[in-house]
Amino acid sequence: MASTDTTPKTDDLAGLEAGLDALDTVQIRRTPVREVLVKKVFPPVVAVVLVLGVWQLLVSLKVTDEYKLPAPSAVWDSLTTMWLEGTLLDVLWTSVSRALFGFLLALVIGTPLGLIVSRVKFVRAAIGPILAGLQSLPSVAWVAPAVLWLGLNDSMMYAVILLGAVPSIANGLVAGVDQVPPLFLRAGQTLGATGLKGAWHIVMPAALPGYLAGLKQGWAFSWRSLMAAEIIASSPDLGLGLGQLLENGRNNIDMAGIFLAIILILIVGIAIDLLIFSPLERAVLRRRGLLAKG
Amino acid sequence: MATTATLAKAEDRAAVTHAARIEHVSKSFGGPAGGQLVLDDISLDVAPGEFVTLLGASGCGKSTLLNLVAGLDRPSAGSIETPGGRPALMFQEHALFPWLTAGKNIELALRLRGVPKAGRREEAERLLELVRLGGSYGKRVHELSGGMRQRVALARALAQDSDLLLMDEPFAALDAITRDVLHDELTRIWRETKLSVLFVTHNVREAVRLAERVVLLSSRPGRIAHEWTIDIPQPRRIEDSAVAELSLEITEHLRGEIRRHGQH
C-alpha cells in the first residue's frame, strides 16, 4: 500500500523532471565559419583551380589547334571585352529574366496541378503517368512545335520553359504529398484538420521538402529548356541571350566566345541554385531537424 | 489553476453519466462477409473523470477500439457515444508536427478548436506550464527529448479541451526512468483537470499504476475478458507492493488468455 513517505512530492517531481530534461536535451551546435570555409568552400575552389591548370597545360602543350581549344586567357579577354562594351549584363539579364519569369509561371501552374493530381484519384490515374513521363522528354523537342505555333517571340520561349518545368514542379509536389507520414494525417484528423483545413495545415507543410526538391529541379529544367530554345530559335527581334551568344560564337567560329557562353550558362545555373534554392531547402530541413550532420 | 471556465466545465461533466459509451461494438476488416473479426461485441462505459486502462496482448484490437472511439474509423456493428465531442488522442509516437515549434503545435490545436488568435499564445504557454515545459514555447521538436516530446503531445491533446483523452501506449517507446516520471505527471494532470482517460497498454504494471479500472481484452477476436476496479490511493508508485500484487493476478489472467491460442 502506498504509504505517505513513498508519495512523491510535487516539488520532487518537478526537480526530477527538470533534471531528466537537462540530461536528455540534444545540444545543437552551430558550425563555426572557419570550419565552413575549410569543409565547404575550399574543396570546390581546389577543383576549379585544378581544371583551369589542366586546361592551361593542354593549351601550352598545343595538343590541338587554337581555334579548337582557346587559352583561358582568351576566354577571359572575351569576357572583359563584353564587360567594357557594356553588353555582358544585358545578355545575362535577357536570359535570367526570361528563365525566372518562366519559372514563376511554371510555379503558378505546376503547384495547383500537383495538388489536384495528388489528391484526386481519377485525375491521378488519368494524367499522373503522362506527367511523370514528360519529365524524361527533352524539352528541346518542344522548340520546333512552339516556333510553329507561336512564332519567333518571347511567348515561344515561355512555352518551352513551361513544358519543361511544370511537370517537374507538379511531380515534386505529388511525391511530397505521397511521402507525408500517415501518422501526421491521423493526428491532424483528431485535432479537427480535415478536408481543406487538413490540406492547408497538415498536408502542404508536411509536403514542403518534396515540393522544394521539385522546385529545384523545376528551375534546372527551366534554365535548360530556355537555353535549348535560345540556341535553336534565334532572331534579331528576340534580343541577345546566352543561348544566342553561344550560337553566334558557332557562326563566327569564335571558340573563346563559345567557351565563355558555356561557362556563363553553367555559372548562372549554379548561382541561382546556390543563392535561392539550396538555402531555402537547407533552412526548411534544418528547422525540422532533418539535416544530416557531418 | 482552476479558472471559472474550468469550474463550469467540471459541473457540466458531473451532469452527464458517461464520457464514452461503447455499446455492442464489433469490428471486422476485409469486407462485411468473411472478413477478419477483430473486436467482438465490446460494451464499455467510461464515467466522467474516470481513468480506465485497456490491457491486452497483441491482436486484441485495443488500438482498433481506440481508433473507433476517436472517430478515425467506424465500427462494423454497435455504437459509440462521446457526449463531450471529439475526443483527444495521443499516440505512441509523439506525432508533433516538425514544421512547427512546440508552442505552435499547441496553438494549431487551439486554432482548429476555434480559439481566437488573441488568446492562443497565452493558453499555449499555460498548457506548457502545466506539463512543466514553461520556456519551451520556441523549441523545435527535434530539440526536445523523447519524454519532453510526449509532454508537448499531451499539452496539445489537452488543448483540444475535450472531456475524454484517449492514449494509445503513449509511453511505450520511452526509457523506464522517463516513463516512471511521466506516470506521476499524468496522474497529477488527470487529477487537476478531472479528465476522463481511456489508456491502452500491454504493460500490466503501467495499467495498475495509473488506472481506477483495468479492462482485460482477450485476443483474436478482442472481447472483454475480465475487469478490475483498483482502489489503491493515488499517487501510487509502480514499485508499491499492492500494485505488484494486483499486477501478478492480472498477469496470470493475461497469460491464461494467451495460452488459449496455443491450444489448437
Fold annotation for B31-87+166-264:
Rossmann fold (3.40.50)
CB–CB of A18 and B72 under 8 A? Answer: no
CA distance A198 to A194: 4
CA distance A118 to A285: 22
Q: Residue A145 belongs to what H/E stretch?
A: helix A143-150
CB-based contacts of A259, cutoff 8 Å, min separation 6: A70, A75, A78
Residue of B nearest to A284 (CA): B99
Paired sense of beta strands B224-229 and B213-217, if any: antiparallel
CB–CB of A192 and B233 under 8 A? Answer: no
- In order along its 264 residues, chain B shows pLDDT tens digits of 444 444 445 555 456 688 888 888 888 887 656 678 888 888 888 999 899 999 988 777 888 889 899 888 888 888 888 888 889 999 988 899 999 999 999 999 999 988 899 989 999 999 998 888 888 899 998 888 888 999 999 999 999 988 899 999 999 888 888 898 899 989 999 998 889 999 999 899 999 999 999 999 887 788 888 888 888 887 788 888 888 888 888 888 888 888 887 776
Burial B118-144 (b: 16+ CB within 10 A, else e): eebeebbbbbbebbbbeebbebbbbbb
Retrieve residue A227's grid coordinates.
Answer: 537555353
CA distance A217 to A110: 12
Q: What is the DSSP letter of B92?
A: S
Chain A: give the shortest CA distance to residue B221, in Å.
24
CA distance A165 to B29: 43
pLDDT digits (tens, 9 = 90+) for A13-34: 888 888 888 887 766 667 788 8
DSSP-derived 3-state class of residue B44: strand
At B86 the pLDDT is 87
Closest by Cα among A136, A134, A147, A114 to A237: A147
Residue of A nearest to B232 (CA): A1
Give B-chain residues touching A30 at CB under 8 angstroms: none
**pTM attached to this predicted model:** 0.79
CA distance B225 to B219: 9
CB–CB of A25 and B236 under 8 A? Answer: no
At A292 the pLDDT is 60
Looking at chain B, the number of H-run helices and the number of E-run strands are 8, 9
At A4 the pLDDT is 44
Retrieve residue B65's grid coordinates.
Answer: 477500439
ipTM beyond cut 0.85: no
Residue of B nearest to A192 (CA): B112
CA distance B55 to B234: 20
CA distance A190 to A187: 5
At A33 the pLDDT is 82
Q: Minimum mean pLDDT among A183-187, A206-210, B230-234: which range?
A: B230-234
Closest by Cα among B39, B55, B50, B51 to B17: B50
CB A219 within 8 A of CB A103: yes
Q: CA-CA distances (angstroms) from residue B33 to A235, B29, B37, B42, B61? A: 71, 10, 10, 19, 19
CB A201 within 8 A of CB B112: yes
Angle formed at CA B227 by CA B73 and CA B194, multiple of 5 degrees = 70
CA distance B255 to A230: 76
At A11 the pLDDT is 66
- Does residue B58 or residue A141 have the better pLDDT? A141
Retrieve residue A230's grid coordinates.
Answer: 535560345
Give A-chain residues touching B132 at CB under 8 angstroms: 14, 17-18
Q: Which strands, in side-by-side order, build the sheet including B213-217?
A: B88-90, B164-168, B196-201, B51-55, B213-217, B224-229
CB A44 within 8 A of CB A274: no
**For residue B105, how many C-alpha atoms fall within 13 Å in the half-sphere facing its CB?**
30
CA A236 to chain centre: 30
Residue A285's identity, in one-letter code, is L
pLDDT digits (tens, 9 = 90+) for A239-279: 888 998 898 888 898 999 999 999 999 999 899 988 999 89
Q: Residue B214 belongs to what H/E stretch?
A: strand B213-217
Instruction: Give the CA-trace dihedral at B3, B4, B8, B13, to 10 degrees.
Output: 10
Give B-chain residues touching A288 at CB under 8 angstroms: 98-99, 140-142
CB B232 within 8 A of CB B209: no
CA distance B133 to B177: 18
Residue of B nearest to A8 (CA): B235
CA distance B187 to B193: 10
- Does A38 score more than 80 pLDDT? yes
Residue B131's identity, in one-letter code, is V
pLDDT digits (tens, 9 = 90+) for B145-201: 888 999 999 999 999 988 899 999 999 888 888 898 899 989 999 998 889 999 999
Give A-chain residues touching B141 at CB under 8 angstroms: 288-289
Average pLDDT of the segment spanning A133-140:
85
Q: Residue A268 belongs to what H/E stretch?
A: helix A255-272
**For residue B149, how many C-alpha atoms fall within 13 Å in the half-sphere facing its CB?**
23
At B165 the pLDDT is 93
Pairs of CB atoms within 8 A across A/B: 115
CB–CB of A20 and B146 under 8 A? Answer: no
By CB atoms closer than 10 A (0-12, 13-18, 19+), residue A57 is exposed
Place of cell 485497456: B54
CB A2 within 8 A of CB B242: yes
Q: Where are the domains of chain B?
A: 31-87+166-264, 97-161
